[in-house]
Amino acid sequence: MHKYFRLAFFSILVCSLSACVSSQKEQPKFKTEILQYQSESRGEVKPVIALVTTPLSAQRPLPVVITQHGSNRDGMSFPGGEGKTDEYSSRLIKEGTRRGFAVVALDAFYKTSIKPSDKRKFPNAFQYALDLKDILVNDPRFDGKNIFFTGFSYGASQVNKSISSKVNYGQVPWRAVASVEPGCNIIFEPIKVPFSLLMIKGSESHYYVEPCQFYIKLLKSSGNDASLTIIDGANHFFSTDGRITNGIAVNGCRYNPVIRKTDGSTVFADGTTATRKLITERCITKEAGSGKNRVHLDKVIDQVLTFFETHRI
């Protein structure tokens, strides 16, 4: 069972209307708060910050979407200057609050110097999300039966951890989860869970589709409700101007992904033992991706929110 650290509970900042979004042409339709708490990652207690956005007019208690940024926080900064998220979560905030959700963006790199290339230093943000869920469940503004989890890229890999034997949800599991452009080169052996998963991939992503197709089959064979949508012509950023660049990526195990087994062992999909050295040699490449016109991203946001609306109770 995960430890829950409820220190430095609420530190709230309500932004002015003009400060909620960068555009001066469109008035925002949501309120923001800064939530600070502490959680555990890799054996250390870490400070975590999240941006809580709630629609100005919607029936309460509100369904909640927790969203986890990718390796690059290239989106909106949190009011007050501390914390940031990515473009996926920024658009999700705007559209999700318009559709009646509270959207909570978690900054897993808060008070760190982590860069997108520091793949081995990334924290276990899934634990951050679980602790955040525990906080929100006990807030009367939010509907504890309808808490959803999504993320992009690195954030999507955290979403994929939701279907793992290492998770103890207690009485409040996710209502549904959406994994947007995960790598799937290193996956956890799945267990059966009481919620559905939607995965969305770009057909031209440098995080290739094949290991995610393998993972979806593995999820289904474990009795899970899991589906994969592929956006034709889209790269990792759901753009049409994609190209391969020099940079660190965990995408080398395209046809033979790594499975972290329930018993603690690690194997490749073909059954051979996967040592740390072999994983580094085979799975980590310098084949990164670029191109960010994001032509298809709004379509992806709509699909995720529609999926959550369909599964809301």
Q: What's the pLDDT at 27?
A: 62
**Is residue 105 situated within a structural domain?**
yes
* Mean of per-residue pLDDT scores for the chain: 90
Determine contact, residues 155/68, Cβ cutoff 8 Å.
yes
Above 50 in pLDDT, residue 38? Answer: yes
**Is residue 136 situated within a structural domain?**
yes
**Is residue 9 situated within a structural domain?**
no
As for how many domains the chain has, the answer is 1
**Is residue 11 situated within a structural domain?**
no
Q: Token pair 């009367």 is at which residue?
A: 140
As a whole number of angstroms, the distance between CA 235 and CA 241 comes to: 8
**Is residue 8 situated within a structural domain?**
no
Q: What's the pLDDT at 165?
A: 80
As a whole number of angstroms, the distance between CA 123 and CA 38 comes to: 13
240-297 residue pLDDT tens: 999 999 999 999 999 999 999 999 999 999 999 999 999 999 999 999 999 999 999 9
Question: What is the pTM (predicted TM-score) of this model?
Answer: 0.91
**Is residue 127 situated within a structural domain?**
yes
Determine contact, residues 187/216, Cβ cutoff 8 Å.
no
**Is residue 5 situated within a structural domain?**
no
As a whole number of angstroms, the distance between CA 272 and CA 211 comes to: 16
Determine contact, residues 5/40, Cβ cutoff 8 Å.
yes
Report the CATH number at residue 204: 3.40.50.1820
As a whole number of angstroms, the distance between CA 158 and CA 173 comes to: 15
**Is residue 305 situated within a structural domain?**
yes
| Residue-number span of the structural domain to which 58 is assigned | 17-311
Above 80 in pLDDT, residue 170? Answer: no
Q: Which two structure tokens, joined as six digits, stand for 124? A: 């276990």
196-238 residue pLDDT tens: 999 999 999 999 999 999 999 999 999 999 999 999 999 999 9
83-131 residue pLDDT tens: 999 999 999 999 999 999 999 999 999 999 999 989 889 999 999 999 9
